[in-house]
């Protein structure tokens, strides 16, 4: 998620951290939360393991309604009409399956006015996917929406004229892409389009404190500093890094300005929901007022994606 950028280039942690000692536990073996299946309520019997948590979804052959109930698929909740050869495909349950293993292209059309085209992507855990929709003949201004396996909306992009959006699979499960005419265009647009789905690859760094990549800072002044690198694959991507910091020590983060300089948010072990500061600068210095875990979160500023590189130093 985007975090409002503060104007601070330096912020002592004394203002945000309490006293305490740092405790580091070894990794625990995670049991499958879906074994045995805890989903026994009504028709929500499909269990999906999402990062160690069980999520109960509507069983196959039913669709989730706004009331929260699972309803059998009919023409009332999944419209049918004439159009291209892929119809009916106006709801998640009738989505056209795309290959998630290789780059896939497909030619379709939005016809008639108000048409939706749904596509299914059988996502693999931690894999990032890119979807591009380019309009062809006609007056279509495409919009792309992405939904998870439970039908929860994740992200969207409107074309100007091409629409491109990325998403990361947080579970090995189906994800859905919907193509429609953009509501930002008041005209009743229809027309042809070309859709391209590309698996970008596995995300190198986690998107939360529990998945953070651990960094051991280099001693300031070393002649052989360690270069850390990553890539922001899409506009909503976040890369989390964990640094064990010691009271009274100053830490400096330096970015390689020959690459993308991402926005940076700082969190602590005591509060991983609210950043104590955010920056967009070539370097940041932080003096630790207590011993704790500091989380450095790289994210795109104004949607700017690409590769980045940085170093972390400690100065006693």
Distance in angstroms (rounded) separating the CA atoms of residues 198 and 102: 7
Token pair for 58: 């509507």
Pairing assessment for the beta strands 250-255 and 277-279 based on DSSP bridges: unpaired
Within 13 Å of residue 262, how many CA atoms lie on the same side as its CB? 29
pLDDT in tens, the chain (316 residues): 567 665 444 444 433 343 333 333 334 445 788 999 999 988 889 888 876 788 888 887 777 776 778 888 777 777 778 888 888 888 888 899 999 999 999 999 999 988 999 999 999 988 999 999 999 999 999 999 999 988 888 889 999 899 999 999 988 989 999 999 998 888 888 999 999 999 998 998 988 899 899 999 999 999 999 999 999 988 888 999 999 999 999 999 999 999 999 999 999 999 999 999 999 999 999 999 899 999 999 999 877 889 999 999 999 8
CATH 3.40.50.1110 for domain 102-202, yes or no, is no
Give yes or no on whether 102-202 and 205-315 have one common fold: yes
Query: Rounded to 5 degrees, what angle do the CA atoms 99, 101, 107 make?
Result: 35
User: What's the sign of the alpha-carbon dihedral 82, 83, 86, 88?
Assistant: negative
What are the domain boundaries of the chain? 102-202, 205-315
CATH 1.10.390.10 for domain 205-315, yes or no, is no
Beta bridge partner(s), residue 172? none
Token pair for 96: 């056209």
Q: How far is CA 17 from CA 186, 276, 286, 289, in A?
A: 51, 9, 12, 7
Residue whose tokens read 């998403």 = 167
Per DSSP, the residues of 12-60 read -GGGT--------PPPPPPP-TTSS----BTTB-EEEEETTEEEEEPPT
Residue 19's φ and ψ, nearest 5 degrees, are -80, 165
């Amino acid at each position: 998620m985007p975090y409002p950028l503060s104007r601070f280039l330096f912020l002592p942690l004394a203002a945000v951290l309490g006293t305490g000692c740092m405790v580091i536990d070894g990794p625990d073996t995670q049991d499958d939360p879906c074994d045995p299946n805890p989903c026994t309520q009504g028709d929500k019997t499909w269990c999906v393991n999402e990062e160690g948590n069980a999520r109960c979804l509507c069983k196959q052959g039913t669709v989730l309604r706004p009331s929260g109930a699972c309803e059998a698929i009919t023409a009332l909740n999944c419209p049918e009409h004439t159009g291209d050869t892929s119809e009916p495909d106006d709801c998640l349950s009738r989505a056209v399956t795309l290959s998630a293993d290789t780059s896939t292209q497909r030619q379709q059309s939005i016809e008639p006015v108000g048409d939706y085209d749904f596509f299914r992507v059988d996502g693999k855990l931690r894999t990032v996917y890119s979807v591009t929709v380019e309009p062809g003949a006609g007056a279509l201004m495409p919009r792309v929406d992405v939904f998870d396996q439970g039908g929860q909306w994740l992200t969207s992009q409107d074309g100007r004229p091409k629409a491109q959006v990325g998403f990361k699979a947080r579970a090995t499960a189906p994800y859905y892409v919907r193509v429609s005419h953009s509501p930002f265009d008041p005209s009743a647009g229809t027309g042809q389009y070309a859709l391209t789905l590309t698996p970008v690859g596995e995300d190198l760094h986690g998107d939360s404190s529990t998945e953070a990549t651990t960094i051991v800072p280099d001693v300031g002044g070393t002649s052989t500093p360690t270069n850390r690198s990553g890539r922001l694959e899409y506009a909503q991507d976040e890369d989390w890094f964990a640094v064990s910091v010691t009271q009274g020590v100053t830490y400096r983060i330096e970015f390689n300005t020959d690459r993308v300089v991402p926005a940076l948010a700082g969190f602590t072990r005591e509060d991983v929901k609210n950043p104590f500061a955010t920056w967009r600068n070539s370097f940041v210095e932080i003096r630790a007022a207590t011993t704790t875990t500091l989380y450095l979160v790289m994210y795109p500023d104004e949607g700017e994606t690409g590769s980045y590189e940085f170093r972390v130093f400690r100065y006693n």
